Structure 1
Amino acid sequence: MSNEAAGGGVRAGFIGGGFMTEVHSRAVRAARGVPYGVASSNPASSADAAARLGIARSYASPDELIADPDIDVVHICTPNTTHAGYAFAAIAAGKHVVCEKPLATSAADADRLVAAVAVAGITATVPFVYRFHPMVREARAKVAAGELGTLLTIDGSYLQDWLLLSEDDNWRVDSVLGGPSRAFADIGSHLCDLVEFVTGDRITRLTSTTRTFFSSRATSTDITTEDAVAIVVETRGGAIGTLLVSQVAPGRKNRLAIEIAGTAESIAFDQEQPESLWLGRREGSQLIMRDGACLSPDAARLSVLPPGHPLGYQDAFTAFVQDSYAAVAGETPDGLPRFEDGARAARLTEAVLESAAEGRWVELEENTND
């Protein structure tokens, strides 16, 4: 019997030993789970990760970790092209799964993972964690209540500068490790997820342009993955929008921002200023600050600190893990991003690449998961 089933804290195993594993392990601790073990690319790196992260057990290989009956949930925090393989193995072993995005580097593999989860009857989630900022939930509640009126336009961007210079380099630029898309799959997927989550609407048609400004970097050559992408979208409900994604925007560290305009009001959220929402009106625009006593129930639930005590990215990640583990225990938390949402992002990624390659609009086919 697993520790979770016996009534103890959920025991988490981590595959990977880098930055995202650090973020996941902190969130697991804050969510009252147990960081039980870690496996990296070889026994030595696994032992190093365990020591750095304060995790008692290291495994010789990811396969050994997945096979351990004491682990309840496998957190996959490895290079993109390995995600699907580890997720399939964890599902086959009956483990619950938290898999970093992209869930898979092809929509076909992502859809197969969704099907495998349904057969196995396990909980499988993808950390689209920006959903867990309280003011994102407040924006969603206002849209759902009809306060914006009929949605007209969407303006969104996700801008970073960590790959601004030609000497900046990372495994993600290599399509062998990162997959065919970089900027969109890495951060544009977050932007599209946030747009669709807040609006409750789906992107049904898009056209895109991509740019790779550096074909060579410090140790990488023949780079084909994009540094930036510009997208025009249409939604099922009739709104139109523009989305800009860049990893070469000077001074922008992690600026995920959306503005949605309706016939009555506009609403705007900026992840670098997550404690507030801007409401735009023809007369009397307003800045709303986070205060759980004045928010919608779902936003208030996530507002775990008093007003004036800022909540940030790690807090959002903790809330995501808490809701994932609540789902493991049989609850149905609202807004939890599951493998279906990861598959949705994979389909959007392929549509963006197809449009950019062929210079045309691409229709997003209806999918039962959508």
Structure 2
Amino acid sequence: MAPPAPPSPDPAAVQVRSAIVGAGMIAEVHRRSIRTAGGRLTGVLASTPERSVQVAADWSAPGRPVAAYGDFDDLLADADVDVVHICTPNRTHAAYAERALAAGKHVVCEKPLATSVADAERLERAADRAGTVAAVPFVYRYHPLVRELRDRARAGEFGNWQLLHGSYLQDWMLDPDASGWRVDPGAGGDSRAFADIGSHWCDLVEWVTGERFTELTAHRTVTVPDRPQAGGKSFTGSATSAKRTTVTTEDAAALLLRTESGALASTVVSQVSAGRKNRLWFELDGSAGSAVFDQENPDTLWLGGEDSSRILHRGAGHTTPEQRRLNVVPPGHPQGYVDCFAAFVADVYAAVTTGETPEGLPLFADGLRSARLVDAFLTSSANGAWTKVN
């Protein structure tokens, strides 16, 4: 009689092993989230082998060494890598993601998933064929009160949607000397402000309301006509190069959109609004009530009624299961962006270890959806016409 098979490992006890491609600001966010989510950072591939060695040394800790890869082939050949986190300039995402999927790796790819619809479609098909987890960090979905709002909307609390409006405003490009690879369409893509932050607004509003934008009309503007050609760190300061280049990627944009149900929507996106650091704000107006969420004040939700309005605090009173799942500290102890990112990575790793997709995990299909919105935005802003979102 054959001996009994050993018990399967508890998925919760399996430590997912990850490597990061890229070593900039967002790579650092991924690094912290990997460890917060209980994963193990195996290695890093930076812009040069020398930079990889430096970053690996900085990211290593006693008992937790981080390897420095010489190139992407070395990373893909490492059997100790389950998940590849892609945190490189936008134009490189598609090539890295496609190769990682072909190697059987799970993938977390920074947004935009790709800078063309064709590339995004190819990546979604590749992810489907690979059968691995392929996710895009639309992490604002992971604010607990965003989950609360979505559950209330699905329960019909707000009635039929009548108007969806808001903005995403930043000021990190206000300085005429601010620059970096995002300004260069050869590295960042043809859209900057909308592809970078307007994509978050659209994803969040569509996901919360259940609506889909079917057409839009858009206008974009460049408020700083030329910027330093090289250098400059995103969100942190000015460039150092004396050579300047003409800017073609937008500093700000305004859009009108229509949804499948006929609701009208509008949003303003800017990276040159003084004093606004990361103000993702929206109001959702329904036939039975309204709601406002402000990402810079994520522990409260404004709920509007015809006779009275109220403020809902995170973790207070009756909460939906998804809000409870994502609440990690009691009310009054603020939760924010880094908590959202860690929760997103934890859900990716849960999908890797269990084979089940957690509620709301944004996948490559969501990245493709965003690429189609960016494509419609670019088309409309070029011809001034209402444009279908394919």
> Normalised by the size of structure 2, how large is the TM-score?
0.91
The answer to whether the Cα contact below 8 Å between 2:227 and 2:246 also exists between their aligned partners in 1 is: no
Q: Following TM superposition, by how much is the alpha carbon of 1:64 offset from its aligned partner in structure 2, in angstroms? A: 1.3
The answer to whether the Cα contact below 8 Å between 1:4 and 1:11 also exists between their aligned partners in 2 is: no
Equivalent residue for 1:159?
169
The answer to whether the Cα contact below 8 Å between 1:38 and 1:50 also exists between their aligned partners in 2 is: yes
Q: Following TM superposition, by how much is the alpha carbon of 1:52 offset from its aligned partner in structure 2, in angstroms? A: 2.5
The counterpart of 2:388, out of the listed 325, 339, 363, is: 363
CA 1:360–1:58: 2 relative to 1, 3 Å: same
* Match status 1:296 vs 2:306: no
The counterpart of 1:47, out of the listed 38, 49, 53, is: 53
The answer to whether the Cα contact below 8 Å between 2:43 and 2:68 also exists between their aligned partners in 1 is: yes
The answer to whether the Cα contact below 8 Å between 2:183 and 2:192 also exists between their aligned partners in 1 is: yes
Equivalent residue for 1:368?
none
* Match status 1:179 vs 2:198: no
* Match status 1:12 vs 2:18: yes
SS in 1 for 2:228: coil
- Number of matched residues? 363
Q: Following TM superposition, by how much is the alpha carbon of 1:292 offset from its aligned partner in structure 2, in angstroms? A: 6.0
SS in 2 for 1:221: strand
SS in 2 for 1:274: coil
Amino acid at match of 1:19: M
Distance in 2, matches of 1:122 and 1:268, equals 36
The counterpart of 1:141, out of the listed 135, 148, 151, is: 151
Q: Following TM superposition, by how much is the alpha carbon of 1:331 offset from its aligned partner in structure 2, in angstroms? A: 2.0
Equivalent residue for 1:249?
273
The answer to whether the Cα contact below 8 Å between 1:293 and 1:300 also exists between their aligned partners in 2 is: no
The answer to whether the Cα contact below 8 Å between 1:269 and 1:278 also exists between their aligned partners in 2 is: yes
SS in 1 for 2:374: helix
The counterpart of 1:235, out of the listed 259, 276, 279, is: 259
* Match status 1:82 vs 2:92: yes
Which stretches in structure 1 are left out of the alignment for 5+ residues? 366-370
Distance in 2, matches of 1:60 and 1:6, equals 32
Q: Following TM superposition, by how much is the alpha carbon of 1:293 offset from its aligned partner in structure 2, in angstroms? A: 5.3
Equivalent residue for 1:33?
39
Deviations 1:290-347 (A, max 9, x none): 0165211111111111111111100000000000111112122010000000000000
The counterpart of 2:338, out of the listed 292, 314, 337, is: 314
Q: Following TM superposition, by how much is the alpha carbon of 1:30 offset from its aligned partner in structure 2, in angstroms? A: 0.5
Deviations 1:274-299 (A, max 9, x none): 00100011111000000165211111
Equivalent residue for 1:351?
376
Q: Following TM superposition, by how much is the alpha carbon of 1:200 offset from its aligned partner in structure 2, in angstroms? A: 0.7
CA 1:272–1:344: 2 relative to 1, 3 Å: same
The answer to whether the Cα contact below 8 Å between 2:315 and 2:323 also exists between their aligned partners in 1 is: no
* Match status 1:334 vs 2:359: yes
The answer to whether the Cα contact below 8 Å between 1:208 and 1:231 also exists between their aligned partners in 2 is: yes
1:183-194 pair list within 5 angstroms: 183-194=193-204
Distance in 2, matches of 1:306 and 1:5, equals 28
Amino acid at match of 1:311: Q
Q: Following TM superposition, by how much is the alpha carbon of 1:7 offset from its aligned partner in structure 2, in angstroms? A: 5.7
Q: Following TM superposition, by how much is the alpha carbon of 1:53 offset from its aligned partner in structure 2, in angstroms? A: 2.5
Which stretches in structure 2 are left out of the alignment for 5+ residues? 1-8, 230-243
* Match status 1:207 vs 2:217: yes
* Match status 1:274 vs 2:284: no
The answer to whether the Cα contact below 8 Å between 1:14 and 1:38 also exists between their aligned partners in 2 is: yes
The answer to whether the Cα contact below 8 Å between 2:214 and 2:388 also exists between their aligned partners in 1 is: yes
> Normalised by the size of structure 1, how large is the TM-score?
0.96
CA RMSD across the alignment: 1.5
The answer to whether the Cα contact below 8 Å between 1:292 and 1:303 also exists between their aligned partners in 2 is: no
Amino acid at match of 2:42: Y
- Structure ID, larger Rg: 2
Amino acid at match of 2:313: M
